[in-house]
């Protein structure tokens, strides 16, 4: 990169010859962002107040006794979206859904990762909608999350599946109702 300053007048071009002023040359190295590792962001930054995750930028997540939600923009222009969470304490479940229908809900077709601890991985292939919505459920603190557009693998591999974190989903429920009454007390 070349920077030129000419005394008392503007410069016509970066290669102009002039008598009074200064020219400096600098080397600029542009490196591709390292998306192979996931850094523990809670060691170096406060929890994020943002609800939209930028591509390949990990953030520290607020502690939660219930859930935290995020969105990723521009998913439809990528072949895939890989979402990784890790670090901290607790046991979270990571859920993601691309497009219509909003945030993941129990029983929908969202992709879920339910492993022991906070290290979770969800990969959405061929997203067709602009927004991808993410929910982190559970009791956790000090977790880091990142969404990588065009990535087909997560930055960390989750551990074993948490058997206590597996939900049985049913297509129907049978309910039997037995009428009863208490002597002298009408039911509302």
List, for residues 58-92, the tens digit of each pLDDT value.
999 999 878 899 999 999 999 999 999 999 999 99
172 pLDDT higher than 80: no
159 pLDDT higher than 90: no
Band the pLDDT of 35: cuts 50, 70, 90: low
Around Cβ 50, how many Cβ atoms within 10 Å? 11
Domain boundary assignment for the chain? 1-30, 41-161
Q: What percent of the chain has pLDDT over 70?
A: 83
| Higher pLDDT among residues 117 and 183, named by residue | 117
| CATH entry 3.30.390.30 includes domain 41-161 | no
Q: Among 50-59, 134-143, 169-178, where is mean pLDDT lowest? A: 169-178
- Per-residue confidence (pLDDT) for residue 107, from 0 to 100: 79
Phi and psi at residue 142, to the nearest 5°: 70, 25
- Per-residue confidence (pLDDT) for residue 153, from 0 to 100: 94
């Amino acid at each position: 990169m070349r920077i030129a300053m000419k005394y008392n007048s503007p410069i016509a071009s970066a290669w102009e010859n002039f008598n009074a002023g200064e020219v400096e040359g600098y080397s600029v190295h542009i490196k591709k962002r390292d998306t192979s590792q996931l850094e523990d962001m809670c060691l170096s930054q406060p929890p994020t107040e943002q609800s939209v995750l930028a591509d390949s930028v990990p953030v520290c997540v607020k502690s939660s006794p219930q859930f935290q939600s995020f969105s990723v923009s521009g998913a439809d222009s990528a072949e895939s979206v890989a979402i990784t969470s890790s670090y901290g304490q607790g046991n979270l479940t990571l859920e993601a859904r691309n497009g219509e229908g909003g945030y993941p809900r129990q029983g929908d077709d969202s992709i879920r990762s339910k492993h022991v601890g906070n290290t979770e991985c969800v990969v959405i292939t061929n997203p067709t909608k602009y927004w991808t919505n993410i929910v982190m459920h559970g009791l956790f603190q000090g977790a880091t999350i990142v969404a990588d557009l065009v990535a087909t693998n997560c930055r960390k591999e989750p551990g074993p599946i948490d058997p206590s974190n597996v939900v049985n989903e049913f297509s129907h429920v049978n309910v039997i109702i037995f009428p009863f009454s208490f002597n002298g007390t009408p039911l509302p």
